[in-house]
Every structure is written in structure tokens, then in C-alpha cells.
Amino acid sequence: MLVSSIADHMQCPRTRPAQLPNPDFQPQYPSFSIRFPENISQLVMAVIGAQHKSASDAADGASRATLTIFLTSRASTTPPSFFEWTSVTDNKGFYNIAALAYWPSKTAYESWAEESGFKAWWQALDPDSPNGWFLEAFFPTTDRFETLFNTDTAREGSAHMGQCMSEAVKEHGYWGSMRDRISLSQTDGLEGVKAVPDEYRSPPQDVTPTGRVIIPGRKNLAVIRSGQDWLDTTLEERSLYLDTMHPVLTKGMEFLRDHGEEVGCYSCRFMEVVDLKTAKPEGIDRTFGLAYFDELASLEKWCKEHPTHLAIFKGFFQYAKKLGNNVTLRVFHEVMVLQPEQQYFDILNAELYSVLVSVAARGL
């Protein structure tokens, strides 16, 4: 029996129609959503990192070591529920290393920032430091957050704060199901502010004399973290993934990164999880696309219409067919639609910072 992706306590009479094609719709394969304890009403996902001119500039591990001190500080009673290291080289060749960290409430995040000394350190950072620093923190209330996993055993990101994984959900397998999984969409259209192309790549306008840029949030910014994990695949599936899916996915991510303004995407980073304990000698086995769209409708449109995601999407079904549906590749995503005050972008040494473009550099 399929269940709703929206937890019972978050369901309410709809004032806006669901996208579900018909009430008897049956997805062709199972997928699952995280169930959070009822006392979690707001989560935090933060991307805290350093930008270096090249990977060799970061080879001494100093920026990562510095952030690790705060993330693992025993002085904090509310350390992250989970964090891991991720990296990406952007289209200007800059190397970015970042912790992706989660907390079960904004209060917990703020206490951690105080008690660990992170906040004081961050505020005193020297703008002339040899590398850039960035803090991108998101504070979605759970009614603005949805997840979808193709397996009920994955432990990714916000799953570390979940109570359990749901039974197989009914809201998937059709375009628009992402929206149907967001509880607030029952009563709200989640419209954002359509950005004009100029806004995407213009340099931030509000650089302070200290070189720090704080970018204001935008109404209903849509953030997606869409991940792929082929760590436990067989050799056969691994080759199939790397030969057929990964190249198409890379193309899609490069399109969003380099031409995102054509489809309402401010920023896209195709990131690798840097996990020395679990990486196989052949290389990295987990990646995710982290992308920011001007509104949910733009993200929906890209998935449904753009050749890059359509190629990924169709490729996935051929892939599953070849494996007789014995897919062990794990895919998942976390999507949030954020109010302006649920976003915090603080960037230091901004002239180096080419990845996050000017989200709302021109205001709302």
C-alpha cells in the first residue's frame, strides 16, 4: 500500500490541485521519503567552504583543518547531526572544498556557531586571506522541504535527522511529483521572482569595504541537492553507470553551470563527496548536483523539458532495464523552497568567488 510523502501531521485540505495524473496512478517502481520526528519543524543545511585558486593551493589541507576544528568542537552542545566533505573545481578552474553540514533546528545551528567559536572566527576573517571563504546556510521549515530516495536504506544528508524512511510513496513517477511532495504546495503556489538574464552573472553589487558580500535571500528560491552513489554497485553496474549515465549527467550539470540563466538557474555545482574512508581506488563514488533556481517552476521545467535532464531520465530506465531492474545505484534528492529569511549567503574574498553568482545582487 502506497503512503503519502507528506507526513500525516502535515496534511491539510488542499486549496491547490495536486499534479497527480489521477487518483489511481501507480508508479512503476518504489521510492521513499524521509520521515522527520514531529518535533523537527525546521532543518539547517549549510555549505561552509573555502575557495582556492587551484587544487594544489589547497593541498596542505589547512582550510579544511580549520573548519574541522569548529565542526567537531567539543565546546558545542549542538554539533552538526551530520557533515561530510565535498569538492568541486569550477568553470574558472578554482578549487572549492566545503563541508556540507546539517542541524535539526536553527537554534541548534546558532548555538553551535557561538559555542564552537565558529561565529567569532568567521566574523573576524581577514579579507586578504590567500583563499576565499563561503557560507551558504539554508533554514527550510519542513513544510518547504521534500526528499525522494530510490532505496529505503540510504543514509544521506538530512536522513541523519530522520526518524525513519517512509513506506513507498505515491507522489513520484510523474512530472510535478516533486511539488506534490512539498507540504506547503497543498495551499501555496510557491511562486518565486523570475530573474532576468542580467541578474545571473553580474558581479555582486554590495561588496563591503572589508571585501565581504552578504547576499540577500530571494522569495521562494528553489534549492536542489540531487545525489548519486555507486559505491555498492557490482563491477558490471559500475561500468554501466560510468559509461552511460555519468557522462550525460556531467553534461546536464555543465549546462546548468554555464548556461543556467537560460532556464532560471543561478548556480550549479556538480560536487564530489570527498570521503577517503569509502572511496574505492578507482576514484570517487558519490556525487551530487547542488543547484539554485529562481523558483520551483523553473526547476520543474528544466527536468521535464530540457534535453540534458530528459537524457538522464530516459537513460536511467534503459539502465534499469539492462540490469533486469536489479539496480544498486542509489539516487536521491533533497529539495527546499525558501523564504528570503531562510537563506544566508556570506562570502569573503569575493573576487575569487565565481561559483555562486549574484543571487539577488539586485535585490528582490
Looking at the annotation, which residues are catalytic?
333
Q: Of 213 and 297, which has the nearer Cβ to ligand HEM?
A: 297
CA distance to 105, 115, 177, 181, 218, per residue, from 77 (Å):
13, 8, 38, 33, 32
Q: Of 53 and 251, which has the nearer Cβ to ligand HEM?
A: 251
**Smallest separation (angstroms) from ligand HEM to the CB of 249:** 5
Q: Of 122 and 175, which has the nearer Cβ to ligand HEM?
A: 175
Q: What is the DSSP string of 177-223?
A: HHHHHSGGGGT------PPPTHHHHSPPS-B-TTSEEEEPP-TTEEE
**Smallest separation (angstroms) from ligand HEM to the CB of 10:** 18
**Smallest separation (angstroms) from ligand HEM to the CB of 312:** 5
Pair type for strands 221-229 and 286-293: antiparallel
Residues 6+ apart with CB under 8 A from 274: 84, 85, 86, 87, 97, 284
Q: Of 178 and 336, which has the nearer Cβ to ligand HEM?
A: 178
Where b means 16+ CB within 10 Å and e means fewer, 30-49 reads ebbbbbbeeeeebbbbbbbb
- Residue 124: DSSP 8-state: T
Q: Of 204 and 289, which has the nearer Cβ to ligand HEM?
A: 289
Can you say how many angstroms the Cα of residue 232 is from the centroid of all Cα atoms in its chain? Answer: 22
Q: Of 125 and 310, which has the nearer Cβ to ligand HEM?
A: 310
Rg (C-alpha) for the chain, rounded Å, is 20
Q: How many other C-beta atoms are found inside a 10 Å radius of the C-beta of residue 358?
A: 22
Can you say how many angstroms the Cα of residue 261 is from the centroid of all Cα atoms in its chain? Answer: 18
Three-class SS state of 262: helix
**Smallest separation (angstroms) from ligand HEM to the CB of 174:** 7
**Smallest separation (angstroms) from ligand HEM to the CB of 300:** 5
Q: Of 82 and 313, which has the nearer Cβ to ligand HEM?
A: 313
**Smallest separation (angstroms) from ligand HEM to the CB of 226:** 4
**Smallest separation (angstroms) from ligand HEM to the CB of 199:** 20
CA distance to 67, 70, 277, 321, 342, per residue, from 73 (Å):
10, 5, 21, 47, 25
Pair type for strands 82-89 and 44-52: unpaired
Q: 3-class secondary structure for 47-86?
A: EEEEEECCHHHHCCCHHHHHHHHHHCCCCCCCCCCEEEEE
Q: Is 57 left (phi over 0), alpha (psi -120 to 50) or beta?
A: alpha
Residues forming contacts to ligand HEM in the complex (CB under 6 A) are 31, 172-173, 175-178, 224, 226, 228, 245, 249, 289, 291, 299-300, 303, 309, 312-313, 316, 331
Q: How many other C-beta atoms are found inside a 10 Å radius of the C-beta of residue 282?
A: 9
